[in-house]
Amino acid sequence: MQKSLWMQKTLWHLVFFAVTSSTLVAPSCFSTICSADQAEVQDPVGSSVAKPIIQTGDRIALIGGGWVERMHNHPWLEMMLTLEVPGVTFRNMGWSGDTVFGDARAVFGSRPDGYQRLMRDLEFAAPNLAILCYGENEAHGSQAERDEFLKGYHKLVEDLKRKGCRIVMVIPRQREDAGPQFPNPRYYNGNLAQLAEGIRKIATDHQATIVDLQKLAPDKRFTEEGVVWNDQGYQEGAREILAQLGYKKLAIDRMLPNTDSVSQLRTAIQSKNEWFFHRYRPQNETYLFLFRKHEQGNNAVEVEQMEKFVRDGESKIAQWLNSEKWAPAP
């Protein structure tokens, strides 16, 4: 029995990290939410707060691993919130294989280097709201690794709050049973349920908002192998996030019959996100900033200049919303 569990856990590691290592790859458990078109939400200890967690003009950072990074290609959450909240803007800071310690962001450096990079990138991303999704990687780990993760998550939330960020913490969806050729997800999902309790406690300690996707559409298949979501999964996941944040009668439902409008908004958001991706993760940073900067380091100045194109992309989105009569009411 122990050997079988070990083999399942090992194979899950191989499947998960194989599909999350590439860049830009293509709920019965509902929180208690007040009902209104843009409703009040409840904090983790249950007291009603007067303002919605997402407010007019917010800059939202999406932070996490591969699930967040792939929102570049499946930007349903950004599309839906853009249609609901006036003036909201986004910075997708997802990084495949990342952890709350910034491991993937370290590139050739150490874990502290990765975390420092995340903190530094937050300076120019300048969010006042962070939507975090961690726990997918860690549900594969041992008890000691899961305990370490929760301590690190506590510190990350603490540091984000020091930077003036409001916090939304997304608990990942359970793994699908993808069939006998893939590992049984029972071991993983049991670990995830344990992590969810720890994440809830962190949210309570820091007065953060919880969105729980563990039981999202349990009878639907959003993946081929149990890990990487398809476009339908991202759309339904975005709907559930908005539902748990108190949004009803979504504007996206009025837009969906107009496929041209959907395509135009999606394309504009993807273009803007691509500019930001190159802004904070330049493809040739070894030559620009690291041990080969003596060869092309003079071009590093151009990376910061890409911020102009990110802001131009945001302006085009805002102009399109107004001209096409899709801008949300103040």
Q: What is the pLDDT of residue 51?
A: 75
Q: How many CB atoms sit inside 10 A of residue 300's CB?
A: 15
Q: What is the pLDDT of residue 279?
A: 78
Q: For the chain, how are helix, strand and coil distributed in percent, rounded to 5? A: 50, 10, 40
Residue 123 region by backbone torsions, left for phi larger than 0, else alpha for psi between -120 and 50, else beta: alpha
Task: For residue 241, name the pLDDT band (cuts at 50, 70, 90).
Answer: very high
Q: What is the pLDDT of residue 304?
A: 64
Q: What is the pLDDT of residue 307?
A: 81
Residue 107 has pLDDT above 90, yes or no: no
CB 171 within 8 A of CB 135: yes
170 inside domain: yes
Q: How many CB atoms sit inside 10 A of residue 260's CB?
A: 9
Residue 226 has pLDDT above 80, yes or no: yes
- CA–CA separation, 205 vs 158, rounded Å? 10
Report the domain count for the chain. 1
Spatial CA neighbour of 209 closest among 246, 250, 155, 248: 246
**Global confidence as pTM:** 0.83
- For the segment 110-139, the average pLDDT, to the nearest whole number, is 95
Tell me if residue 141 falls in helix, strand or coil. coil
Write the DSSP string, 261-306.
HHHHHHHHHHHHHHHHHHHHS-TTHHHHTSTTHHHHGGGTHHHHHT
164 inside domain: yes
99 inside domain: yes
Spatial CA neighbour of 203 closest among 161, 151, 244, 168: 168
- CA–CA separation, 247 vs 245, rounded Å? 6
What whole-number percentage of the chain has pLDDT above 90? 71
Spatial CA neighbour of 133 closest among 105, 162, 110, 156: 156
Q: What is the pLDDT of residue 163?
A: 96
- CA–CA separation, 135 vs 183, rounded Å? 18
Spatial CA neighbour of 167 closest among 214, 120, 128: 128
The label of the residue with tokens 């967040």 reads: 68
* pLDDT, tens digit (0-9, with 9 covering 90-100), for 277-317: 887 766 766 544 454 555 554 555 555 667 888 899 999 99
Average of per-residue pLDDT values in the chain: 84
CB 317 within 8 A of CB 311: no
Tell me if residue 100 falls in helix, strand or coil. coil
* pLDDT, tens digit (0-9, with 9 covering 90-100), for 153-169: 999 999 999 999 999 99
Burial of 162: CB neighbours in 10 Å, binned 0-12, 13-18, 19+: exposed
- CA–CA separation, 134 vs 168, rounded Å? 11
- Please list, in sequence order, all residues whose beta carbon lies within 8 angstroms of the beta carbon of residue 181, skipping any fewer than 6 positions away: none
- CA–CA separation, 53 vs 187, rounded Å? 34
Q: Give the tokens for residue 35.
A: 């009902």
67 inside domain: yes
Amino acid at 31: S
227 inside domain: yes
Q: What is the pLDDT of residue 48?
A: 43
Highest mean pLDDT, choosing among 8-12, 30-34, 56-60: 56-60
Q: What is the pLDDT of residue 11?
A: 44
Burial of 4: CB neighbours in 10 Å, binned 0-12, 13-18, 19+: exposed
Quote the DSSP letter at residue 32. P
141 inside domain: yes
Residue 10 has pLDDT above 60, yes or no: no
CB 119 within 8 A of CB 158: no
Kindly report the CATH number assigned to the domain that includes residue 80.
Answer: 3.40.50.1110
322 inside domain: no
Residue 258 has pLDDT above 80, yes or no: yes
222 inside domain: yes
- Please list, in sequence order, all residues whose beta carbon lies within 8 angstroms of the beta carbon of residue 240, skipping any fewer than 6 positions away: 27, 211, 213, 216
Domain that holds residue 64: 21-258+277-283
- For the segment 124-151, the average pLDDT, to the nearest whole number, is 96
